[in-house]
Structure 1
């Protein structure tokens, strides 16, 4: 399971989520899939950022390919 860098400063945020989502998240923690709610949420955000950054980079490459005269 990926861990954050020990020297990286953490910032506390507050998030509202539906009760059902929280119960499912807690079940993953209970089963040992994630060590904590916080770690599960950090992993989900990391994966979202990676996916969106990759998608944006691919979109920029596609935009260059589609430019006329190139």
Structure 2
């Protein structure tokens, strides 16, 4: 089973993508933007999680301002 740089085991998942999206992803890999499809998808998910975490923290801060803490 592949491992990340931190030696964490990776889990295989299946994802359905529109053909056009897969072609664009493959083009990014072909141009060397990403080393593989998997790495591109990992980076996209990581970025999504970071963005959602930041959005959640902003919401918590706004709530605290409204409550007066």
When the two structures are superposed, what TM-score results if normalisation uses the length of structure 1? Answer: 0.88
Higher RCO, Cα 8 Å, sep 6+: 1
Q: Secondary structure at the match of 1:22?
A: helix
Task: Name the counterpart of 1:27.
Answer: 27
Count of residues in correspondence between the two structures: 66
Task: Name the counterpart of 1:5.
Answer: 5
Task: Name the counterpart of 1:64.
Answer: 64
RMSD over equivalenced CA pairs, Å:
1.2
Q: List runs of 5+ in structure 2 lacking aligned partners.
A: none
Runs of 4+ residues over 4 Å off in structure 1 = none
When the two structures are superposed, what TM-score results if normalisation uses the length of structure 2? Answer: 0.89
- Aligned-partner Cα distance in 2 for 1:64–1:31: 46
